[in-house]
Chains A and B, each alone.
Chain A
Amino acid sequence: MTQENISGAAPSLSRLVQELNRLPGIGPKSAQRLAYYIIRLPDDEAYALADAVTSVKQNIVFCEECQNLTDASPCQVCSDPRRDQTIICVVEDPLDVLAMERTRSFRGLYHVLHGVISPINGIGPDQLRLKELFSRLDRPEVAEMVVATNPTLEGEATAMYIRRHQGRSDLRVTHLARGLPVGGSLEYTDETTLTRAFQGRQEI
């Protein structure tokens, strides 16, 4: 959006609309609505928002170990001595770490790739945090790597690439189980998922 599109608006307001319009999923109309919402916010709430944006840009760094976003490197998970150092769970994005942590069922370490191999979008192995992963896998205490990329075509390709290029023959390499989601329906399940659900059936 250009300032000409919202002629009549104050220059500072136009600038805010322009900046909001850059955000993913925010169109020109949504940007205007958000801008007017921010103007109507109490001062302390608006400044808290501005401060949060400034703070996140000033303080967030990549964890030197797992490459997750953190305020201090190494991050809380990597520096926690109670975490199992023998198992590394590889995920695509920082949001996946949050999802895994919500389950409270995994007590090992993470490694965040920050994307997946996406040949059509020109994203190859060099754009991911793979060198850092392979370097961590060289440590003898690491006994298992759980590749938890999304079960999409690109997620699977990334998992296969990691499997092919990790250099240790004694490392256990696993991926998360494939099958039916809780609340799903057999009728609408695709054949690949259903086949894998059968392969992974369990005693009840």
Chain B
Amino acid sequence: MAPPRTYRCESIILSYTPVDEADLLVTMYTRDRGKVKAIGKGARRATSKLVGHLEPLTVVNMSMANGRSMDIISQAEVVQSFSELKGDLDGISKGLYLAELVDGFGAEDSPNQNLYQLMIDSLTVLQADPESDMPLRFFEFHLLQVSGLMPELYHCVECRIELEPDAHRFSPNVGGTLCLECNPEDAHLRPLSLRALKVLRLLDRSGIRAASKLTMDDSLADELKSLLSTTVSYWLGKEIRSNSFLERLHNESTPGVYK
């Protein structure tokens, strides 16, 4: 029996590119199929039934038809629009940062429901407090986890001894934390403060809502931000482009207590 020519899927829109006269090439992450690229025919026309349903950071129920080279979006219905998040510049820039990471780590024909749920949960928490950076840190950490790249936080990755409550070192290249006795040749090696290690372990053990309530001073926040975004960028193998706009907005805002 021939496989069905149409299918339905729940997905979150990551980005789109205008193609041809009025079409959109939409990149989405689906709950059951992983990353999917599909064409929205005529979706740029103001009267298209797809218009408004394919904006990035929108959860959509899709009806799709298998195309020769690419699937075609036949129907789209918004499930969750995250409209409050999209009404805030910080919220948009952070949401797009998450979308770029999901696009980079998500693979086509390789569903990862944990990654899908992580994205939805992170956007939900971010929507409640778009100024907070903690949902981004939680997302970066758990993105590594659901992608099978979880850094080691409890034992030295070289000698395997249990880590003492002390300052250590960290490298994504060797897979996590190193004790002070081990000195592998590694250009990615960086110091890891005890406070940062404790926060990483907290991120490992807690849910996103609890983690998002955590407050910390600027130096600890900067250390975590640098460590996690560098690690994510290392595994992605390229620079995260939306990070520079995020940094710009952060630098333009009044410095104060990290939320």
By the criterion CB–CB under 8 Å, are B89 and A160 in contact? yes
A140 within 8 A of B: no
Q: Check A157/B89 contact, CB under 8 A, given A119-B96, A181-B47, A193-B52.
A: yes
By the criterion CB–CB under 8 Å, are A119 and B86 in contact? no
Choose from A124, A157, A181, A192 the contact partner of B244 (Cβ within 8 Å): A124
- Please name the residue on chain A nearest to B79 by beta carbon: A191
B212 within 8 A of A: no
CB distance from A90 to the nearest CB of B (A): 16
A153 CB contacts on chain B under 8 angstroms: 55-57, 86, 92, 96
Residue from A117, A121, A184, A188 whose CB has the most chain B CB atoms within 10 Å = A188
A183 within 8 A of B: yes
Interface residues of B in 194-249 (CB under 8 A from A): 241-242, 244-246, 248
A136 to B77, CA, bound (A): 42
CB distance from A8 to the nearest CB of B (A): 28
B19 CB contacts on chain A under 8 angstroms: 25
A152 to B100, CA, bound (A): 17
Choose from B49, B97, B103, B242 the contact partner of A185 (Cβ within 8 Å): B49
B171 CB contacts on chain A under 8 angstroms: none
A200 within 8 A of B: no
B46 within 8 A of A: yes
Per-residue CB proximity of B43-85 to A under 8 Å, as 1/0? 0001101011101110000000000000000000010010100
B47 CB contacts on chain A under 8 angstroms: 181-185
A189 to B245, CA, bound (A): 31
A195 within 8 A of B: yes
- Please name the residue on chain A nearest to B54 by beta carbon: A190
Query: How big is chain A's contact interface, by range?
Result: 20 to 34
Choose from A25, A120, A189, A195 the contact partner of B15 (Cβ within 8 Å): A120
A157 CB contacts on chain B under 8 angstroms: 89, 92-93
By the criterion CB–CB under 8 Å, are A191 and B78 in contact? yes
B178 CB contacts on chain A under 8 angstroms: none
Per-residue CB proximity of A124-150 to B under 8 Å, as 1/0? 110000000000000000000000000
B186 within 8 A of A: no
B126 within 8 A of A: no
Per-residue CB proximity of B166-190 to A under 8 Å, as 1/0? 0000000000000000000000000
B86 CB contacts on chain A under 8 angstroms: 153, 156, 192
CB distance from A148 to the nearest CB of B (A): 14
B93 CB contacts on chain A under 8 angstroms: 119, 157
A195 CB contacts on chain B under 8 angstroms: 83
- Please name the residue on chain A nearest to B244 by beta carbon: A124
A89 to B29, CA, bound (A): 36
B52 CB contacts on chain A under 8 angstroms: 189-190, 192-193
A161 within 8 A of B: yes
CB distance from B131 to the nearest CB of A (A): 13
B99 within 8 A of A: yes
Choose from B15, B53, B55, B89 the contact partner of A164 (Cβ within 8 Å): B89
By the criterion CB–CB under 8 Å, are A184 and B46 in contact? yes
6 A–B contacts, CB within 8 A, in A order: A120-B96, A124-B248, A153-B57, A164-B89, A181-B46, A191-B83
Question: What are the 4 A-B residue pairs with the smallest beta carbon separation, nearest first?
Answer: A190-B52, A119-B242, A188-B49, A181-B46
Residues of A within 8 A of B (CB): 25, 117, 119-122, 124-125, 152-153, 156-157, 160-161, 164, 181-185, 188-193, 195
User: Apart from A120-B99, A195-B83, what are 8 other A-B pairs with CB-CB below 8 Å?
Assistant: A25-B20, A120-B103, A124-B244, A153-B56, A157-B93, A190-B52, A190-B78, A193-B52
